[in-house]
Structures are given as structure tokens and as C-alpha cells.
Amino acid sequence: MTSQELSFAHRFLPATGPGRAPLLLLHGTGGDESDLLPLGQAVAPGAALLSPRGQVLEHGQPRFFRRLAEGVFDEADLRRRVEDLAGFIGQARDAYGLPAPVALGFSNGANIAAAMLLLRPEVLAGAALVRAMTPLAEPPRADRAQADLGGRPVLILSGAMDPIVPAANAATLARQLGEAGAKVTHRTLPAGHGLGQGDLAALSAWFGGLGR
């Protein structure tokens, strides 16, 4: 099912079973609104899936926000795009009758989900962040964010051989989210930057453990 009436091009697949939180699927650079649907169906069978397409083009490839170089983000654009995406999520919740979703993001999609947790924590019920890195040089003050993120489940899956995300950077993100009150699980898998079977197994276990 697609809709052109909301602010992002997207696909929506209704839930086929009870008890699962809806998933917000956020693709990596060069992906689109169909890219992560098979992953969402595999790791959270029966859940409603909401999958928008990033509105920034980098050499013709969709992204969710601009970057100045690999690993160097345009933070002003990132903050604006977080607000745009938050607005879309509100529209989609109204249109499809959804509770707050749990994000499942890969690479660029994981980075905007991490930024949303820090900047607009009320929008998401949790997040699984695959190959995420720290999105903000100056995250919001922990004393303000503590009550906002309290208890939200967050999974971070890093790759031990990832050439893009340094291990220390991913560890910083895990610390920032934990200080903001999230319940963080950070795992480093024997993988590079791409998705693999280890990610599928870890995501399936984590989503299976969420409240049902």
C-alpha cells in the first residue's frame, strides 16, 4: 500500500497479527521505501511496517539528511530533517491509526533515528540502530533528556570490521543514549558495514523480547 497524501513518499504494510509495535523502517544511503520491508517482515513478523523514502539526494541516491563528507554530518540539515520526519510520523499515525513506532534503521537511517531519540524522544517507542554512529557533536543536555527517554529500549548493532563507524564512536552513542535514560543494548558483531545473518538473528531476538 502506498500513499501520496503524506509528506514523505512511503510504503505502509498493515499489521497481520496482534501484539507487535509498528516498525518505522529507515533505509541506508541509496535505499528506498521498499528496501527494508523484507527485513522488517523477517525480524518482527505480523507487525505493521511504515517505510519512508529519504528526501535528500546524494549523487542521485536517497538519504535522510545531508553530509559534508563520509562520517561528517551537516548538523543543521540533520536537525531540520528530524523535524520533517517527526511530522511525517505524526501524519502516518493519524492516517493509519498507529501507536508510536519502534524505529529499525540501517546506516544513514540508523543515524537519523539516533538523532530523533535525542532531539524528539517522544516520537519513537524505541529503536534498533544497525551500524549507527554519533549524529550530534553537541547532544541535548542529559538533565533535560533524562525524563524524556526514560526506559525506551534501544539496540545498537556495530560491526567489528566496519570501515565507516569507529568502535569508539558507536560506544559514545551508546553512552549518550544511556545517559539520556534509554535502556541500551550494544552488541558488536563479527561483520563489516553491511547487514548479515548475525544482524538478522540479533534483531529477531531483540524484537521478539519487546513487550507483546
Read off the pLDDT of residues 76-103 as tens digits, 9 standing for 90 and up. 999 999 999 999 999 999 999 999 999 9
Quote the mean pLDDT of the chain: 92
Q: Is 148 in the active site?
A: no
**Cross-strand bridge partners of residue 159:** 189
CA distance 36 to 183: 24
CA distance 77 to 66: 6
> Out of 107, 158, 186, 199, which one is annotated catalytic?
107
Q: Is 10 in the active site?
A: no
Over residues 104-122, the mean pLDDT reads 96
Q: Which amino acid is at 133?
A: M
- 16 near 26, Cβ under 8 Å? no
pLDDT at 141: 61
Tell me the domain boundaries of the chain. Answer: 10-209
Over residues 113-130, the mean pLDDT reads 96
> Out of 10, 27, 51, 162, which one is annotated catalytic?
162
Q: Which amino acid is at 2?
A: T
Dig out the grid coordinates for 95 from the structure.
Answer: 492516517
Q: What is the dihedral of CA 55, 58, 59, 62, to 10 degrees?
A: -40
Q: Is 107 in the active site?
A: yes
Task: Say whether pLDDT at 67 is over 50.
Answer: yes
CA distance 68 to 77: 10
Tell the burial category of 33 from Cβ atoms under 10 Å away from its Cβ (0-12, 13-18, 19+): buried
Q: Which CATH number fits domain 10-209: 3.40.50.720, 3.40.50.1820, 2.60.120.650, 3.30.70.20?
A: 3.40.50.1820
pLDDT at 115: 96
pLDDT at 4: 55
pLDDT at 147: 45
pLDDT tens sequence across 148-187 = 888 999 999 999 999 999 999 999 999 999 999 999 999 9
Collect contacts of 84-88 with beta carbons under 8 A, ≥24 apart.
84/7, 84/8, 84/55, 85/8, 85/52, 85/112, 85/116, 86/116, 86/120, 86/123, 87/7, 88/6, 88/7, 88/8, 88/10, 88/52
- 14 near 93, Cβ under 8 Å? no
Task: Say whether pLDDT at 196 is over 70.
Answer: yes
DSSP helix/strand/coil, 204:
helix
- Report yes or no on whether pTM surpasses 0.85: yes
